[in-house]
Structure 1
Amino acid sequence: MTVPPPDGSRDRRIEDPSNLWLIHPASRLLLPWTLARGISANAVSVAGLVLGAAAALAYARFEAWPLAVLGLVLSIGWLVADGLDGMVARATGTASPLGRMLDGLCDHGVFALIYVVLAIEVGTVGGWVLAFAAGAAHAVQSSLYEGERSRFHRRIKGVALVATTAPASDSPLVRLYDWFAGSPDRLARAFEHRLAASPEPLVLGARYGAAAVPPMRLLSLETANVRVGAIFIACLIGDPRIFWWFEIVPLTLIAVAGLAWHRRVERSLLTSTSPAPADAPARYLVKE
C-alpha cells in the first residue's frame, strides 16, 4: 500500500516542538512498516494502551531512577502509537466510532492509570486528594485546549462555526454541564459572526491566524507531551505531588491566560480593516 502524504490538518506554527521533531516523525516512520503488515488502527491503539499501562507500572517504583526513565520511554512509545493509529486509519480508510473510543481510552485511560499508581505509591489521603484534583483539572484543561485548537484550524481556512441548538434537557445537572461546556463557544461567538459575514473569509482567517498564533502557542503547554515530561521530572525528583500541583496551579493559570488572550485577539479583529499579512503560507503537519 502506498503511504499517503501528511494530510495537512495541523498548523506547524502552534505545534508542540516535541510533536514536530520527535513524536510525529516517529509515527510517520513506522507507518509503512505497519501498513505492510496489515496492522489495523485499532490494534495500534491497543498497543498504545499497553505501552501506557506499562509506563504506569514502571512509575510504581519511581524511586529507582532507571524505572523512572523506563516510564518516560514507554510513555513516549504510547504517544507515538497515539499518533500512528490515526495515520493508519486514514491511510486504510478504516476510521470508525470504535477507533475513536479506543483513541480516547488511550489518551485518558493511560493518565488515569499513572495517577492511580502514583497515588498508591504516595500512600496518603492528601496524595489521593491531589491526584483527583489534578485529574479533574487535567480533564477541563484538555477539553478547553482541544476546543481552542479545533477553532483555530477551522478559522484559518475561513470557516465559521454554524450555530446549532442542543436539545433541551429536564435535568438541571445536564443543563449546567451544557452551559459550562458551551461557555467558550459563547464567548467566541462574536468573531464567528464576523467571519461568517465577511466577504473575504480566507483573508480574515489569515489575519486571525497570524494574530492568534501566540496565545495558541501558550495553550500548547496543555498537551499530553508536556504532562509526560512533567511526570518524569517529578518522579525523578522523588515526589509525584510536584506534578499534581503543576497541573492544578500553573497549567490552570496557563489555560485561563491563553483563553483570555485568544478572546482578546478576536475582539481586536471585530472592527479591524487592516490588510492581510504578507507572511508565507502556513505549514501543516499530519493530524495524529
Structure 2
Amino acid sequence: MTSAPRDTSRDRRIEDPTNLYLIHPAAHALLPLALRWRVSANAVSACGLVLGAAAAWLFYRWRLPGAATLGLAAGAAWLIADGLDGMVARATRTASALGRALDGMVDHGVFALLYVALAASLGTVEAWLLAVAAGIAHAVQSAVFEGERARFHRRVAGRGFVPYPPSSNPLVSLHNWVSTALDRRAAAFEKLLAASRNPARVGQDYGSRAAPVIRAMALLSANMRLLALWLACVLGNPRLFWWIELVPMTLILILTLSWHRRVEAMTVRLHRA
C-alpha cells in the first residue's frame, strides 16, 4: 500500500512536544488506513466525539484507581482523531466550511462533557459554578488560540486575509465570525501583507518573529488542558483544573496576545522603513 504523503499543513516551529512526538505521528500512521477504508473526515470527527465521551465517563470515575489515567488515554485517542480528520479532509480534498465548524464543535463538545462529568462527580453548587465559569474562559481561550494559529500559517505562506464567503448555516457563520475577529483587529499588518510586492518575504520575516509567541500560546491547547485535568484528578482535586483555566491560562492568553500584536507592529515598522 502506498504510504500517505506527509502532512505539511502545520509549522513544526509552533507545535508542542505532545503533538510533535505523539499525536501527529499517530494520526499520520492511521491516515493510510482511513484512506484505504474510505472513511470520511466527518466520520473521523464523529469517532473522536465518541472517544471524548468515553474519556468524560472515565474522568467521572476519577476516584477509582487508574480511572483518570485511562481517561487520559481515551482523551489522547480523541486528540489523535481530531488531527486525523483534518489530514483525511486535505488528502481527499473534501475540506469544507461545515467540516471545519463540525471539528470545532466536537472539540468544544468533548470538553463540555468533561466539565459536566467532573461537576456531576463532585455534586456541589460550587463545582457547577466553577465548571460554567471555566467553560466560558475555555471557549474564549480556545477560539483565540486556534485563530492565532491559523493566522500564523496563512501569513507565513504569504497569504493575506480573505473573509470567508457568506453561509446560510448559522453555526458556520458564527464560527467564521469568531475565528476571524482578530484578523480585523490586526488591520495594519494585513494591509502591509496585501500591499507588499513580496508577500512571501514579509510572511517569512513575520514567521521568524512570531513562532515563539504561537509556541508559547500552545499552553492553551487541548493537549495541555487534558494533561492539567489528569494531574488535578490524580492529585485528588479536579477543581484545580478549573482554576488553572480561569487564572493562569487567562494570563497566558493576555500576555501572548499582547506579545503577538507587538510582533505585528514591529514587522510593519521594519517593512515600511
Q: Same fold (TM over 0.5)?
A: yes
Name whichever of 69-78 and 86-95 sits farther off: 86-95
Contact preservation (8 Å) 2:147, 2:179: no
Residue correspondences, number: 266
Which structure 1 residue ranges, 4+ long, deviate > 6 Å from structure 2? Answer: 163-166, 178-182
Secondary structure of the structure 2 residue equivalent to 1:153: helix
Contact preservation (8 Å) 2:51, 2:77: yes
1:120 corresponds to: 120
Partner Cα distance (1:237, 1:252) in 2: 22
Cα drift, residue 98 of structure 1: 5.1
Q: How does 1:195-210 map to 2 (within 5 A)?
A: 195-210=193-208
1:208-258 CA-to-partner distances (Å, cap 9, x unmatched) read 111111111111111110111011001111111100000011111101101
Q: How does 1:19-34 map to 2 (within 5 A)?
A: 19-34=19-34
Asked if 1:10 corresponds to 2:4, the answer is: no
Cα drift, residue 18 of structure 1: 0.6
Partner Cα distance (1:181, 1:46) in 2: 22
Highest CA radius of gyration, 1 or 2? Answer: 1
1:75 corresponds to: 75
Query: CA separation of 1:268/1:98 partners in 2, compared to 1, >3 Å: closer, same or farther?
Result: closer
Contact preservation (8 Å) 2:134, 2:243: yes
Contact preservation (8 Å) 1:65, 1:236: no
Partner Cα distance (1:182, 1:80) in 2: 26
Q: How does 1:85-164 map to 2 (within 5 A)?
A: 85-96=85-96, 99-162=99-162
1:283 corresponds to: none
1:51-89 CA-to-partner distances (Å, cap 9, x unmatched) read 111111111110123111110000001111111122223
Q: Aligned AA for 1:85?
A: D
Name whichever of 88-97 and 118-127 sits farther off: 88-97
2:170 corresponds to: none
Q: Structure 1 unaligned segments of length 5 or more: list them.
A: 167-177, 276-288
Q: Aligned AA for 2:227?
A: G
Asked if 1:229 corresponds to 2:201, the answer is: no
Partner Cα distance (1:164, 1:73) in 2: 36
Q: Structure 2 unaligned segments of length 5 or more: list them.
A: 167-175
Q: Aligned AA for 1:201?
A: P
1:217 corresponds to: 215
The structure with higher relative contact order (CA 8 Å, sep 6+) is: 1
Partner Cα distance (1:163, 1:225) in 2: 29
The alignment-based identity, stated in percent, is 56
Query: CA separation of 1:41/1:186 partners in 2, compared to 1, >3 Å: closer, same or farther?
Result: closer
Select the residue among 239, 242, 262 that pairs with 1:241: 239
Which structure has more helix as a fraction of its residues? 2
Query: CA separation of 1:99/1:196 partners in 2, compared to 1, >3 Å: closer, same or farther?
Result: closer
Cα drift, residue 23 of structure 1: 0.3
Cα drift, residue 264 of structure 1: 0.5
Contact preservation (8 Å) 2:193, 2:199: yes
Contact preservation (8 Å) 1:159, 1:201: yes
